[in-house]
């Protein structure tokens, strides 16, 4: 049951993460609609160098972030009004979850506190006619408000020098601050009443900074425009200060944050720790802990290769490899009934182990061990056979004694019981990582957990493991133990009556119980 819970909980976590990601993806998939206008080629007033380029670059950048973009260049009054009206219809059709964005680069003026976007065909001789030749910026806000969508963005890079400065009563600089409906973010290239620079390198300083920061993953819009303000101040020597006002109620970023990579499983972390060690002991311990992991096949192949390399005879020297001088020919009789030489033993051995590895059956591993009890692959076969029998015993819930081929030790699967070793009683004080342990029997009591994990096993961590692979080895080096990692292991012993707690630990019978007490106290 404990193993089942250990498998179900991570699965639920993955499922929950998947549902969360799906919800985020659905939110990101909500329609994004942008109208981008760049007016440079004015007919009756001063032409501007950069707005058309600014608009093209902004359209390309927004398309990369998922916006459905309409790009309008050098628009006259009729084209601008038509595009704004269509923009409103598109927003209304997209629904409440849509995001609307309006960007304008070109001439913009204010009169009596009202802001006007200036079409390329505008001609003005009297300030009273401004509303007849210009397009009020509030027209865009009205279209957005009518759509009742939750997020709208208005970006005005339109505060260049007043193109109508010769017209009486048209001496107001820049744009006036506007009041936006709820859910709107308003951004101006400069402060209200101030003038912005057109730029000398193809983009205005304001749009240049925007193009730099819009693609940054997970950057909230508020932080984005703050960084834009910093960049523009630096580029213009403090002469231009971008301005913004927000009534947003939702978080917004042009590019969603990059999802964090899924955490590595315990098996993957353990495999990362042992895969490059070249140490058969550590790889065997990995297989013992994670026999069904995706890395088990690679681990078995690695053990196989390491064993073959260790047990193979050294390559002969050049002199030894040279064929001996031929002896004088001696007459000999050849029996016509002579038979071919038998199959080389190594070929038969490899055939048997390959059969066992392919089938994964205990009987095939036993057949190999019966034929080659001291063969090249005997340790691997014994290990796999022990795992198969232990798994069968755990599935059956029985106590099993499995004799190993060398005959000097048997594999015993403890029954489901969490009885403490004889003489082990609960400690009276808090168990800490560095403090002396009160209980645990000889070799444990009086020592600390920190000291014990640096010790050597008193018996093979895996039944049948040759002494050369575990004797005087350090368990801490096998497990890459740190206090945090050990605490994670110790917590698996909390509140459980499982074989894992009942089985004796190679470092001492009472160690697991002391780890449990340590975890109960918060792993201090």
Q: Is the pLDDT of residue 499 over 70?
A: no
Helices in 236-377 by DSSP H: which ranges? 266-274, 280-289, 296-311, 318-321, 345-359, 362-371
Spans of all domains in the chain: 30-246, 266-311+344-412, 416-524
Examine the pLDDT at 409 and tell me if it is beyond 50: no
User: Do residues 173 and 209 lie in contact, with contact meaning Cβ atoms separated by under 8 Å?
Assistant: no
Q: What is the pLDDT of residue 399?
A: 39
Mean predicted confidence (pLDDT) in 163-181: 79
CB under 8 Å to 407, separation ≥6 — which residues? Answer: none
Q: Which pLDDT does position 29 carry in this prediction?
A: 58
Average pLDDT over residues 393-415: 42
Write out the H or E segment, with its range, that includes residue 154: strand 151-157
pLDDT at 337: 44
Q: Return the DSSP state at 209.
A: H
Of the chain, the percentage scoring pLDDT greater than 70 comes to: 71
The DSSP secondary structure of 336-397, one letter per residue, reads TT--PPPPPHHHHHHHHHHHHHHH--HHHHHHHHHH-TTSTTHHHHHHHHHHHHHHHHHHHT
Statement: residue 163 has pLDDT above 70? yes
What is the predicted pLDDT for the residue at 243? 92
Q: Which two tokens stand for residue 136?
A: 């009020």
pLDDT of residue 83: 97
Locate 473 and state its tokens.
């080895």
Please state, in angstroms and rounded to a whole number, the distance separating the CA atoms of residues 434 and 136. Answer: 74
pLDDT computed for residue 394 by the predictor: 58
Residues in the chain: 524
Q: CA–CA separation, 255 vs 468, rounded Å?
A: 57
Question: First-to-last CA distance in the chain?
Answer: 29
Average pLDDT over residues 483-500: 67
CA distance 110 to 159: 10
* Helix or strand holding residue 507 (H, E): none
Nearest to 394 by CA among 375, 377, 374, 415: 415
Q: How large is the average pLDDT for residues 333-339? A: 44
Which contiguous run of DSSP H or E holds residue 91? helix 77-94
Calculate mean pLDDT across residues 124-135.
88
Q: Say yes or no to pLDDT of 401 above 50.
A: no
Structure-block tokens of residue 121: 């065909």
Q: Residue 94: its pLDDT value, please?
A: 95
Q: Taking residues 179-206, what's their average pLDDT?
A: 84
Indicate the class that CATH gives domain 30-246. alpha beta
- 279 Cβ partners below 8 Å, 6+ apart? none
In this predicted structure, the answer to whether residue 190 has a pLDDT above a threshold of 50 is yes
Lowest-pLDDT choice from 98-112, 441-455, 473-487 = 473-487
Q: Is 301 buried (19+), middle (13-18) or exposed (0-12) by CB count in 10 A?
A: exposed
Tell me the range of 8-22, 74-88, 176-190, 415-429 where mean pLDDT is highest: 74-88
pLDDT at 220: 96
Q: Which of 178-187, 191-200, 305-314 has the highest mean pLDDT?
A: 178-187
The pLDDT value recorded for residue 252 is 96
State the Cα–Cα distance between residues 78 and 446, nearest whole angstrom: 91
Res. 89: pLDDT tops 70: yes
CA-only gyration radius of the chain, Å: 39
- Say which residue, 361 or 317, is predicted with more confidence: 361
Name which of 83, 112, 64 is nearest 256 in CA terms: 64
Residue with tokens 């004796």: 504
Rounded Cα distance, 516 and 489, in Å: 9
484 or 123, higher pLDDT: 123
Q: What is the pLDDT of residue 318?
A: 52
């Amino acid at each position: 049951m404990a193993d089942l819970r250990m498998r179900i909980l991570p699965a639920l976590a993955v499922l929950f993460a998947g549902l969360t990601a799906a919800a985020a993806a659905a939110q990101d998939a909500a329609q994004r609609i942008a109208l981008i206008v760049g007016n440079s080629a004015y007919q009756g007033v001063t032409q501007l160098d950069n707005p058309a380029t600014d608009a093209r670059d902004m359209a390309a950048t927004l398309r990369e972030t998922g916006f459905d973009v309409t790009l309008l260049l050098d628009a006259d009054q009729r084209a601008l009004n038509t595009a704004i009206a269509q923009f409103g219809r598109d927003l209304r059709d997209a629904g409440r979850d849509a995001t609307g964005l309006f960007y304008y680069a070109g001439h913009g003026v204010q009169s009596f506190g009202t802001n006007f976007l200036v079409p390329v065909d505008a001609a003005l001789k009297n300030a009273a006619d401004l509303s007849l030749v210009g397009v009020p910026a509030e027209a865009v806000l009205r279209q957005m408000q009518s759509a009742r969508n939750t997020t709208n963005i208005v970006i005005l890079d339109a505060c260049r020098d007043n193109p109508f400065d010769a017209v009486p009563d048209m001496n107001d600089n820049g744009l006036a601050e506007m009041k936006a409906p709820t859910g709107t973010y308003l951004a101006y290239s400069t402060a209200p009443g101030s003038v912005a620079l057109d730029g000398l390198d193809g983009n205005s300083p304001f749009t240049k900074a925007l193009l730099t920061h819009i693609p940054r993953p997970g950057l909230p819009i508020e932080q984005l425009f703050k960084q834009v303000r910093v960049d523009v101040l630096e580029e213009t020597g403090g002469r231009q200060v971008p301005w913004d006002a927000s009534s947003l109620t939702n978080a917004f970023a042009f590019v969603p944050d990059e999802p964090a990579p899924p955490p590595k499983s315990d098996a993957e972390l353990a495999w990362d720790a042992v895969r490059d060690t070249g140490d058969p002991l550590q790889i065997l311990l990995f297989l013992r802990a994670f026999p069904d992991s995706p890395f088990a096949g690679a681990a078995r192949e690695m053990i196989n290769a390491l064993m073959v390399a260790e047990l193979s005879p050294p390559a002969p020297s050049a002199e030894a490899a040279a064929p001996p001088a031929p002896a004088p020919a001696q007459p000999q009789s050849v029996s016509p009934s002579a038979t071919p030489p038998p199959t080389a033993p190594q070929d038969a051995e490899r055939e048997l182990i390959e059969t066992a590895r392919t089938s994964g059956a205990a009987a095939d591993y036993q057949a190999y061990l019966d034929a080659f009890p001291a063969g090249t692959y005997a340790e691997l076969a014994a290990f796999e056979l022990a795992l198969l029998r232990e798994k069968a015993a755990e599935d059956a819930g029985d106590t099993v004694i499995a004799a190993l081929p060398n005959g000097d030790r048997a594999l015993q699967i403890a029954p489901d019981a969490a009885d403490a070793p004889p003489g082990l009683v609960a400690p009276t004080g808090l168990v800490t990582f560095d403090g002396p342990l009160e209980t645990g029997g000889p070799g444990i009591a009086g020592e600390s957990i920190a000291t014990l994990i640096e010790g050597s096993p008193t018996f093979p961590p895996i039944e049948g493991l040759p002494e050369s692979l575990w004797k005087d080895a350090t368990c801490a080096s096998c497990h890459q133990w740190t206090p945090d990692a050990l605490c994670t292991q110790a917590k698996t012993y909390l509140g459980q009556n499982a074989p894992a707690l009942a089985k004796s630990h190679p470092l001492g019978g009472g160690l697991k119980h002391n780890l449990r007490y340590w975890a109960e106290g918060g792993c201090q």
